[in-house]
Structure 1
Amino acid sequence: MKKKSLMFFLLLILVLSTALAACGGDKKESGKDADSSKEKTLVFGRGADSVKLDPAAVTDGESLGVAKNIFETLINFGEESTELVPGLATKWDTSDDGLQYTFELEKGVKFQDGTDFNAEAVVKNFERWMSGNAESTPYFQSMFGGFKGEKNAVIKEVKADGEDKVVITLFRAQAPFLKNLAMTPFSIASPTAFEKFGKDFYKNPVGTGPFTFVSWKRNDSITLEKYKDYRIEGLPKLDKVIFRSIPENSARLNALTTGDIDLADGINPTDAKAIESNDKLQLFKRPSMNVGYLGMTVTRKPFDDKKVRQAVNYAIDKQGLVDAFYEGQATVATNAMPPVITGFNEEIDAYPYDPAKAKALLKEAGYDGKEIELWAMPVPRPYMPDGQKMAEAIQKNLEDVGMKSKIVNYEWGTYLEKAAKGEADAFLLGWTGDNGDADNFLYTLLDEDSIGSNNYTFFKNSKTHKLLKDAQIEVDEAKREKLYKEAQVILHDEAPWVPLAYSTPLIAGIKEITGFKPHPTGSDRFDTIDIK
């Protein structure tokens, strides 16, 4: 072989070897799990900031949605239902008289600050709730009647039986007791943390959940990170979750389409078709378990008069609102709870749109024409995508029958706080069911025991109070249904609300998201989400 040819041959071998080495390197790199070398972060766009990150201290969905991923409850709901499944308690037993519950706890679990999860920790959580008040732990009052020493209290005592067993004794049986315990407000927090931080625990939350709290930039973002010692192997799949507050629905959708966020709730029904036709996005529909309503504070004039409240029900074009703002993703509401809840009274019809009847009732009531305040929600919620526009439409309906109104706005946390104190004349709000039980709608929202917590109308009625209390202790489901149906008849007549809509909330996400299962309660766990 000639020298020139030999050099060319050697050079060719060198080039080929380099190329093969490069290919081999590429193959090795691509053979690695790309996701394992890259941090998986989900950015979730939502309509408002959280109020507090202490689940026991809040009632708003934006707070509870974050808390759901930091904390856990003794009992869980199913992935897409309100069926009861084990949580931090592996199993439980109930005495024959329904007055005692025994919970066996999962062993070896630690809170995110290293504190042991055990029976003593559970007892301390109950003591914290039971010694609170309607302001500090509002859900406890609504779901368990009252606090330690109060006559309406359901829970008598909570005791540890060894390291891994808790016994709860009740003053009286409560049919939805277990479902109530599965609600996010009754998540088990680290006693070390809430004893250390006191009133500031809501800024330093510590639970046993799949994600740990990292930081909170008010009205901007909340950042959580994967809890590496989480009790369920293989979860969470994400390394980080960022909750971003983007109040405007259109801005939130734009952030999704430009890739600034990965998942967005509060999607306008009008945008559903555009999302479904976008090959980079996917649309999720949350199972409907909610009601949007206009509440009237019955301790304030003119709504202390039943005829005025009935007149407002006749004055509002509910079907028109549903057609204008929900784009086929809602139906007109007839009761204070949705039809998916057992005990819904199908024989009750919504007040028809009848301005003439409304005017007649206002005249009978001697309404003086004084202007009222109509409070509009400042944030989109699953049950009401656009509170401001809804308020404007209702304002026109009321004006047509001679009731002038001034639309009032507040920041979300202030809105809830002031409404709970009875400072609104009429206010837009709604409710997403926490546990799938009628008690969680009718008693929680419209019973006298819930005034100061979730009953913003301050409505009370001796007949409905008896029916709802009887239903709580009735273990025969058929009899419970009958009691709830009777209560709905009275509530329909007394009209503290204008039930507006039962909606199907929409959520949109990028195509790469897998494992997301929207929950009917509105509080979603992100531990099963992956981004491919």
Structure 2
Amino acid sequence: MTDLPRGAGLNRRDFLRYTGMLGAAAAITASLSACSGPSSTGGSGSGTGIQAALSYALSGGFDPMTSSSAVATAANQHVLEPLVDLDPVTRKPFNALAKADPEQVDDTTYRVAIRDGATFHDGSKVTADDVVFSFERVLDPDNESLFAQFLPFLDGVKKVDEQTVEFKLKYAFALFGERLSVVRIVPKKIVEADQKKFDALPTGSGPFKLTAANAGSGLKFEKFDAYNGPRPAKAPTMTWLLITDPSARVTALQSKRVQVIEAVPYLNVEELSKSMDVESVQSFGLLFLMFNCKKKPFDDVRVRQALQYAIDTGKMIDTALLGNAAAATGFLPEAHPDYVRASTVYGHDPAKAKKLLQEAGVSGLEVELVTTDTDFVKDCVPLIKQSWDAIGVRTTLNVGQSGGQYANKIDNGKYQVMAAPGDPSVFGNDVDLLMRWFYVGTWPETRSYNSGTAEAKKVVELLDDAARETDEAARKRMWAEAMNIVAEQAALYPIFHRKLPTAWNGDALSGFKPLATTGLSFLDVGRA
């Protein structure tokens, strides 16, 4: 392996030693967990089932009304179906539970028929009542669904007959068909009978049934033989190990305990490429910096901008990610079809950072940077600390498991600044959806705490106006203006967009393709 060039401060040897110390406790725990996986894998990954290793821990439940964790999202894509889904690889829409494309009755009315013979895993028929129930529970403000923010155009859903539903829109919305993908259809009777039980082990209509879910032993799936949709399971079983420690994931693949792993450590890509299929796909997935804007001095945009300008993103990408990312020059990665370069781009500029702090009247700033224990994040945050220390900001790191950090620090407002990964592109890839995830509802209201500012309100207004706009060029101009505002305000903004490396045994799997989103997909994948 070629040594990286050395620069001021942390060299590569110091860097790896430092990040190794930060992750030691988590690595030991994850390794022990990985060594006690389900006996069905037999330690060899042999047989007709699929064995895989995901990089995130199990966090929360699976109810698609509220769950957005990486593990639950990936699992639900195999277990529950929306009417229209997005292909996990191409991100193009296809009819899942829908029998055919949505029928447009008029500008604000659509009808959708359910696939003939579609059944849930308990054998019950999927009906229009289930579809209406699934949408209404997401739209109900009392349920606080994260996905309601993606459906501002939807006025209501009603049953036409046992197999048909009608959607009434508040205004014409060009992305109606593909946006149906954010609501996965659940069985009304089962959810109403025991929502907590459903949340722990959901019943869906997808090609796989989730039969077990445990933080230590992982997830187990079985083929749903009665599935009659477009993506039938090609393997009788799946076992997903949840291995947060990167070295343990690599070992699991090399030992043939699993056939595929996500989030290959960048240091291991070249080594694994000698014996496995390895591919890095450019993604929207980002490392973002988020400020608690209700805490001083982070309510001052100059302070937020200063800490962005101070980060040596190029060094971070070269050192921690071995070049496998692109510094953010806009909210979207440059490969996105709607990319525009932001009016504010945070290049490394320590002098400007110091000047902004001085203008804000801030000196002797002490910051606790809260971050998750995701492997690439742990590799990056020491370099953020180094950059901030270099401009006189005394920085301490608080590294912990994602679910715990949000529950104990973020969602109760007991933090100053957070650096964490984010990837709403698992739900869709259009600008409206990606921006609504971070800048409408939950995040600005209960995490970055800037929803009451004039700028944040303007972003929501622009997104709403763009959603109503029928002229594509005008819609894109509104999106660009909104993206410029979030860049300038820097309450929550990407540092970089990264590449996602996946490794798999091509001799053991047929039809497998890596994703540009978090997680793994085994739709149309079988054992070779």
TM range (shorter): 0.7 to 0.9
Give 2:51's match in structure 1, choosing from 30, 43, 56: 43
Moved more, 167-176 or 200-209: 167-176
Alignment of 1:345-494 (within 5 A): 345-346=340-341, 348=343, 350-380=345-375, 386-417=376-407, 418-432=409-423, 433=425, 434-447=427-440, 451-452=444-445, 456=448, 458-459=450-451, 460=453, 461=455, 462-494=457-489
Report the CA distance shift for 1:475/1:449 in structure 2 as closer, same or farther (over 3 A): farther
Q: TM-score, structure 1 length as denominator?
A: 0.84
Matched, 1:505 2:495: no
Matched-pair contact (CA < 8 Å) for 1:291–1:337:
no
Report the Cα offset of residue 236 of structure 1.
Answer: 0.9
- One-letter identity of the residue aligned with 2:440: D
In the other structure, the counterpart of 1:93 is 103
Q: Distance in 1 between matches of 2:399 and 2:173?
A: 39
What amino acid is the match of 1:446?
A: Y
Q: How does 1:303-314 map to 2 (within 5 A)?
A: 303-314=298-309
**Counterpart residue identity of residue 475, structure 2:** R
Match in the other structure for 1:517: 513
> Which runs of structure 2 are paired with 1:194-213 in the superposition (5 Å)?
194-213=191-210
> Partners of 1:490 and 1:81 in 2: how far apart?
30
1:143 and 2:150 are equivalent in the alignment: yes
Letter in 2 for 1:438: V
Distance across 1 between alignment mates of 2:406 and 2:258: 27
Counterpart in 2 of 1:171? Answer: 170
Task: State the distance in 2 between where 1:501 and 1:372 align.
Answer: 21
**DSSP 3-state at the match of 1:303:** coil
Query: Which AA in structure 2 matches 1:396?
Result: Q
Aligned-pair distance for 1:123?
0.9
Deviation at 1:321, TM superposition (A): 1.0
2:119·2:205 contact (CA, 8 Å) conserved in 1?
yes
Greater Cα offset, 60-69 or 497-506: 497-506
Contact 2:261–2:502 (CA under 8 A) maintained in structure 1:
yes
Q: Could you say if the C-alpha distance between residues 507 and 133 of structure 1 is closer, same or farther in structure 2, counting changes exceeding 3 Å?
A: farther
- Mapped to 2, the partners of 1:350 and 1:477 lie a distance apart of 26
Tell me if structure 2 keeps the 8 A contact 1:53–1:205. yes
Q: Does 1:81 align with 2:90?
A: yes
Aligned runs of 1:7-406 on 2, under 5 Å? 40-51=48-59, 52-78=61-87, 80-89=89-98, 90-97=100-107, 99-133=108-142, 135=144, 137-140=145-148, 142-145=149-152, 154-183=153-182, 186-232=183-229, 235-278=232-275, 281-346=276-341, 348=343, 350-380=345-375, 386-406=376-396
Q: What do residues 463-483 of structure 1 show as CA deviations (whole Å, max 9, x unaligned)?
A: 222212111111221111111
- Unaligned stretches of 5+ residues in structure 1: 1-37, 146-153, 381-385
1:449 to 1:171, Cα distance in 2 relative to 1, 3 A? farther
The TM-score, its normalising length taken from structure 2, stands at 0.84
Q: Comparing 122-131 with 304-313, which one deviates more in the overlay? A: 122-131
Residues 270, 496 of structure 1: CA spacing in aligned structure 2 closer, same or farther, 3 A cutoff? same
RMSD of Structure 2 on Structure 1 (CA)? 2.2
**What's the offset of the Cα at 1:394?**
0.5
What is the Cα deviation at residue 286 of structure 1?
3.6
Distance 1:217 1:448 in 2: 31
Q: What is the one-letter code of the residue matched to 1:393?
A: L
Measure how far apart 1:96 and its partner are: 4.0
Answer whether contact 1:516 1:526 (CA < 8 A) is retained.
yes
Distance of aligned partners of 1:312 and 1:342 in 2 relative to their CA distance in 1, 3 Å threshold: same
Amino acid at match of 1:284: E
Total equivalences in the alignment: 474
1:67 to 1:496, Cα distance in 2 relative to 1, 3 A: same
Write the distance in 1 (CA, Å) between the matches of 2:488 and 2:230.
Answer: 53
The amino acid of 2:226's aligned partner reads: D
Contact 1:445 1:456 in 2 (8 A): no
SS in 1 for 2:302: helix
State how far apart, in whole Å, the 2-side matches of 1:234 and 1:340 are.
28
Kept after mapping to 2: 8 A contact 1:49/1:220: no
Q: Retained in 2: the 8 A contact 1:439–1:472?
A: yes
- The Cα of 1:365 is off from its aligned counterpart by 0.7
Q: Any conservation in 1 of the 2:138–2:147 contact (CA below 8 Å)?
A: no
Q: CA deviation at 1:208?
A: 0.5
The 2-side partners of 1:100 and 1:421 are apart by 41
8 Å CA contact 2:303, 2:356 repeated in 1: yes
SS of 1:91's equivalent in the other structure is coil
User: Partners in 1 of 2:417 and 2:263 — Cα distance?
Assistant: 23
Residue identity matched to 1:177: F
CA distance in 1, matches of 2:173, 2:405: 32
**Letter of the aligned partner of 1:164 in structure 2?**
Q
Q: Which amino acid aligns with 1:212?
A: K
**Secondary structure at the residue paired with 1:486?**
helix
Aligned letter for 1:531?
A: R
Q: From the superposition, tell whether residues 389 and 189 of structure 1 become closer, same or farther in structure 2 (CA, over 3 Å).
A: same
Write the distance in 2 (CA, Å) between the matches of 1:55 and 1:244: 21
Measure, in 1, the Cα distance between the counterparts of 2:392 and 2:254.
Answer: 44
The 1:233–1:131 alpha-carbon spacing in structure 2 relative to 1, beyond 3 Å, is closer
Q: Secondary structure at the match of 1:376?
A: strand
Letter in 1 for 2:405: Y
Distance in 1 of aligned mates of 2:92 and 2:48: 31
Alpha-carbon separation, structure 1, partners of 2:495 and 2:361: 26
Contact 2:448 2:491 in 1 (8 A): no
Q: Match of 2:160, as an amino acid?
A: D
SS in 2 for 1:409: strand
Taking the aligned partners of 2:175 and 2:419, their CA distance within structure 1 comes to 28
Deviation at 1:264, TM superposition (A): 0.6
